[in-house]
Amino acid sequence: MARLTHCACTSVLVGKAATLDGSTLIARTEDHAEACAPKRFTVVPERVHKKESFVSANNQFSMELDGAGLRYTSTPDVDQSEGAYEEAGINAAGVAMSATESTYANERVLAHDPLVEEGGLAEDALVTVVLPFISSARAGVERVAAIVAEHGSAEGNSILFADADEVWYMELATGHHWVAQRIPDDAYAVCANRISIQEVDFESPDFLHSDGIREFVEDNHLNPRPGTFDFRRIFGTYSQQDTHYNAPRVWFGQRLFTPEVEQQPEDLDLPFIRRANRLLDVDDVAQLLASHFDGTPFDPLGSDGDERSRTRYRAIALSRTQEGHVLQIRPGLPPERAGVHWVSLATTAFSPFVPFFANASAVHPAWESEARRPDPESVYWLLRTLDVLAESRYPLVARRVEDYLKASRQKAHAFVAATDRACAPLKGEALTEALTGANRAFMDELLADTRTLLQDAIMAEAEDSPLSFDMDENL
């Protein structure tokens, strides 16, 4: 049986006309049942598959991989005993994929089409068997659909795809039924462990769906609102857990991007598609992924509200967040220049989002570390240490961390702009080599900044120890 340990994530999708520079953006946090489940960031090289058998360590899902597999970025688990869980990446064709946000269908629909827990497609395998083989976002939906038609789905999962033109959100609800919707170019969506897609337009090219889904719903009397086809209402859940665990995250995201609209955090019918009151960029999306109801009575680290309100809702950034990513496909550029994988290892509340040009052959060793326990040579563990220090003594170190993150953002944007200028004349292997070196140099700089911050935080906390006693200035 598939083990649902990677079970609680928050997703953001933004169309190209809704961003500052015309980029498409897909983004997500990856959360885990355990606080420390180390991740690494790497590049998977291109390879030609010759009718090779892929078998998942998680639930024995198996399929044949054949043909050319593109190079792609990836954030796999360090411990792969239950599967790779590569989670997110950008391939050499300039296609981004994030998989998955765990999503839950109701018992009525599952009674008629249960999940295929043994041998069905699950989160651990999705990026591995899909991303190397697709050349567009729509093709990503179609490849997942073909696999589910043959093998079934082991879990309720939502999957994000983007290329330079389109952003797609796909929800696998039951063993064989799903719907995918193209995010309108001028819109965004925030999703949080619930089925999000609402009214399905079966005549529109902006929707894709499983074969026979309308007949399945009609034959089994599953539609509570005949005359409509509201996917969330038919397949989704409306539970107490949704009220406290899921809906408030969507509310906060829409509050951040569309603050003029009055909504309630426990509203289970918040709209899937929203328009922001401004053009969005990578920093806006990263801010949401790093948030914990900041500035509200519901912030676990805040001083507003009371103990009950500060623990009422599940925040986006948690101690058990293992990584976050913003996958940016920039407009007007060839695939080898378009993709930037912004990666944040460990808890997104305290870790910077680091830009990585996807057309690279290798990653900095500290980001690729396979250490399973705290290790000063591992970026995951350095940032996890920062998380622990910052969370335990938040008032003391919050300003230092805030300054570090602000400086990291400024350096990141300067790095992207400078690298674009420096690499503009280059093509082919020369471009890949230059981007690989530039990525490495910038990661070195941020690694030094992170170590300095940790040193400063430790020294500040040592000075503030309760195990002290004042006598006079000499003692």
First to last CA, the chain: 62
Where does 278-378 have alpha helices with state H? 282-289, 307-310, 335-338, 365-368
What is the Cα–Cα distance from 127 to 135, expressed in whole angstroms? 14
Closest Cα to residue 237, out of 247, 228, 227, 226?
247
Are the C-beta atoms of 298 and 313 separated by less than 8 Å?
Answer: yes
Are the C-beta atoms of 344 and 286 separated by less than 8 Å?
Answer: yes
Which H or E run contains 263? Answer: none
Which residues neighbour 220 within 8 Å (Cβ) at sequence distance 6 or greater?
109, 112
Residue type, 295: G
**How many helices and strands (H and E) does the chain possess?**
14, 16
Tokens of 359: 């057309």
Catalytic, 9? Answer: yes
Closest Cα to residue 116, out of 180, 193, 172, 176?
176
SS3 at position 434: helix
What is the Cα–Cα distance from 105 to 115, expressed in whole angstroms? 10
Cis preceding linkage at 100, omega within 30: yes
What is the Cα–Cα distance from 109 to 114, expressed in whole angstroms? 8
| Residue in 9, 36, 191, 423 annotated catalytic | 9
Which residues neighbour 48 within 8 Å (Cβ) at sequence distance 6 or greater?
67, 68, 69
- As beta bridge partners, residue 65 has 52
Sign of the CA dihedral with 41 first, then 45, 46, and 48 last? negative
Closest Cα to residue 352, out of 409, 414, 413?
409
Radius of gyration of the chain measured on its C-alpha atoms: 22
CA distances from 168 to 76, 139, 197, 208 (A): 23, 10, 11, 10
CA distances from 5 to 71, 138, 306 (A): 27, 28, 31
Tokens of 411: 């350096």
What is the Cα–Cα distance from 319 to 303, expressed in whole angstroms? 19
Instruction: Return the active site residues.
Output: 9
